Amino acid sequence: MIPLYSVSKMRSGKQSKKEYGNERTNTPRNYHIYAIYVAPGCGKCITKEAETQKISYNRPMKAWKIIFWIVIAIVLIFGVVTSITTNLFEAQADPGTNIHSDPAERVAWSDISGYWDFYISNTVTVFGSKIEGYAESAIGDISLDCATTRNGNICTSSNYGICNGPGPHNIDGTCTNGNASGILSGYAWNDAIGWVSFNCNQTNHGGPDVCISNPYGVTINGVSGDFEGFAWNDIEGWIGFHGSSTKVATTWRATSSIAYLESSIFDTGEEGGVVLNSIIWQGTQPSGTSVDFQIAVSNSPTGPWTFIGPGGSEFTYYGASCPAAATSFPGAGADTPICIDKLQSASSRYLRYKVRLISNLSRTESPEINDIVLNWSR
């Protein structure tokens, strides 16, 4: 919390009482006294020449009235300061959400229904394992989690949600495989348009893998907190999260530390190319950590090099043990073959890999790799 200002109490000093002779008067606070001038040598008599002169006099304010006006001034100053402070920090998240309140940093865009506001409901919150709450739009709520809808928890009748990392989303509203990677997966729901997919590979959520024909996904930048990429709906089409003038941004940052390493170029020496079957790594993988891979292939030593995972997507990583060629969190672990989709490397002479190392959420443990072995065949 940011402190505004501290105000010390003010003690009013004693007021002196001004007296005129020994007389007491009940004259109002603002009043006039007429002094009668006596002619010289006439004693107490009043001559015709006597004149009167109007004298203005203001009685000092009482202490309680001074305090009253001081309190009024403090209230007015506090109101102004509060207004200024609110404007200065309007881009910060509301306590009920960690999405930015700035109109340019809280909305996704659909060419059909327009803006999807992720801040206004004061419910959308990004966590290390999942996203909770619901966005609002012209077509109604975009529910991101069955456990935190406008109508409460409905997971027992309809299990869905957005995980921060691989799925699945469980019926108790959790994403046990969430790894704070910022790579979102799973489905949101809207009563008018149905399912909204946040990743081209939804096999962990009971959906298809369409990454080969239609690679897409929504990610959260671990440095800036910006949402990036596109979600998909069969009616709305693409929903963009990072446009030229608007985006969705969060104060959340990845609690896991993630490191990447890209290999040098491996020349198999086979003119007709090879097929990459699997990857084995040697080292240690403590509980809560993970190691997984992407591959890139080419028939030229200069590339181009495009690192992809299951389904041909740049948003997925190979981590499952053979025979599956799929994502997994945590990864299969050391000394365990991780199968690669053979179609992705067929007839390619040059091979590269990208390895991703993910620490546990508290950043107290991280994997260690000593060696990596590529298994390929002609």
User: Which CA distances in Å does 118 have to 114, 155, 220?
Assistant: 13, 21, 14
pTM for the structure as a whole: 0.56
Residue 377: partners with Cβ closer than 8 Å, 6 or more residues away: 274, 275, 277
Q: What is each CA distance from 85 to 1, 120, 122, 213, 250, in whole angstroms?
A: 12, 20, 20, 50, 20
User: At residue 136, does pLDDT exceed 80?
Assistant: yes
Kindly report, residue by residue over 266-319, the tens digit of the pLDDT. 999 998 899 999 999 999 999 989 999 999 999 999 999 999 999 888 888 999
Asked if residue 174 lies in contact with residue 180, where contact means CB atoms within 8 angstroms, the answer is no
C-alpha–C-alpha distance, residues 281 and 368, integer Å: 10
Q: Which residues pair with 345 in a beta bridge?
A: none
Q: Is pLDDT above 80 for 48?
A: no
Take residue 307 and report the two structure tokens written for it: 């690192």
Domain ranges of the chain: 30-88, 103-240, 258-377
CA-to-CA separations, 313 to 176, 202, 233, 294, 327, in angstroms, rounded = 23, 12, 18, 9, 11
Which range of 50-54, 86-90, 127-131, 358-362 scores highest in mean pLDDT? It is: 127-131
Q: What is the mean pLDDT of the chain?
A: 81
- What is the mean predicted confidence (pLDDT) over 52-58? 41
User: Residue 359 has which token pair?
Assistant: 């620490």
**Strand order across the beta sheet in which 275-284 lies:** 338-339, 275-284, 368-377
Instruction: Say yes or no to pLDDT of 82 above 60.
Output: no
Phi-psi region of 371 (alpha: psi -120 to 50; beta: other; left: phi over 0): beta
* Residues 186-218 pLDDT 10s: 999 999 999 999 999 999 999 999 998 999 999
By CB atoms closer than 10 A (0-12, 13-18, 19+), residue 148 is buried
Strands 125-126 and 194-197: unpaired
Domain 258-377: which CATH class?
mainly beta
C-alpha pair distances (Å), 53 with each of 19, 37, 225: 19, 8, 78
pLDDT band at 45 (very low <50, low <70, confident <90, very high): very low
Identify whether the C-beta of residue 316 lies closer than 8 Å to the C-beta of residue 329: no
Query: Which of 29-38, 86-95, 247-256, 350-359 holds the top average pLDDT?
Result: 350-359
Q: Cα(306)–Cα(295) distance, rounded to whole angstroms?
A: 8
CB 194 within 8 A of CB 234: yes
